[in-house]
Amino acid sequence: MKETMEQWFAELEKSEAEAVKMTEKQSKILQAAIEVFAEKGFAAASTNEIAQRAGVAEGTIFRHYKTKKDLLLSIVAPVMTKLIAPFVLRDFNKVLDVDYDRYELFLRAVIANRIEFLRNHMNVFKILIQEIPFHPELQEQFRKNILSKVLERMNLIVDKFKSRGQLMEIPNLTVIRLTMSAIIGYVITRAYNENREDAGWDDEFEREETISFIIRGLSIK
């Protein structure tokens, strides 16, 4: 069994993408809505502007999506699922098989994969982050489908590296929180510096420093 984790990710991504069937107009509407929602926020976005950018009549939007909110959910929900793709591989054993020897390698793989993901879905991710506080359904979905599953899987992974003597004996939730804080902080700073030419951001370097920082902070000396 020579499959790598990356291949698993790719397969998952693909199979989800293929599941979608929509007309050209519908896809244009989605694309336009993503743009406008990301630019102005859901509440300040007008269906009129979305229709114009999509090059369709305003009525056409409501043929495909009952309400404006429906349109939001249609955008955000599938990305929420994809967001945790790496953590919900179906075959449990395989995950462990296709595993990494060290926490460091695992982190590096996850970061690379999720950055690739965000590059493709940055706008939807922005919308998700922006709107979660105002839509209980999104919160519910997030908690049930995302957070719990990620935590569940990460629990196993942390347990494994603990048992191999690579991670300190502090509560799993704390390990996960500290790991994720560092990674998310890296990703956000990275995104913030992406469009600024004068930033002097050395991505390769910062990523490695972040990983090293996590390892130093969590390893048994």
Phi, psi dihedral angles at 4 (to 5 degrees): -100, 165
Q: Which stretch binds a second copy (CB under 8 A): 29-37, 49-57, 114-122, 182-190?
A: 182-190
Residues 71, 67: Cα–Cα separation, whole Å = 7
Cα dihedral angle (197, 202, 204, 209), rounded to 10 degrees? -140
Choose, by CB under 8 A, the member of 101, 184, 194, 203 that binds a second copy: 184
SS3 content of the chain, % helix, strand, coil (to 5): 80, 0, 20
Q: Exposure of 193 by Cβ count < 10 A (0-12 exposed, 13-18 middle, 19+ buried)? A: middle
Contact of 98 with 8, CB cutoff 8 Å = yes
CB of 96 to a second copy, least distance (A): 27
**Residue 57 binds which one of DNA, a second copy, none, with CB within 5 to 8 A depending on kind?**
DNA
DSSP 66: S
Among 2, 18, 19, 23, binds DNA (CB under 7 A): 23
**Between 69 and 119, CB nearer to DNA:** 69
Any contact of residue 48 with a second copy (CB under 8 A)? Answer: no
For residue 23, the partner it binds in a second copy, DNA, none, with Cβ less than 5 to 8 A by kind, is DNA
Binding test (CB under 8 A) with a second copy, winner from 19, 66, 133, 163: 133
When the beta carbons of 62 and 87 are compared against DNA, the nearer one is 62
CB atoms under 10 Å from CB of 217, counted, come to 12
Residues forming the site for a second copy (CB under 8 A): 40-44, 126, 130, 133-134, 170, 174, 177-178, 180-182, 184-186, 189, 206, 209-210, 213-214, 216-218, 221
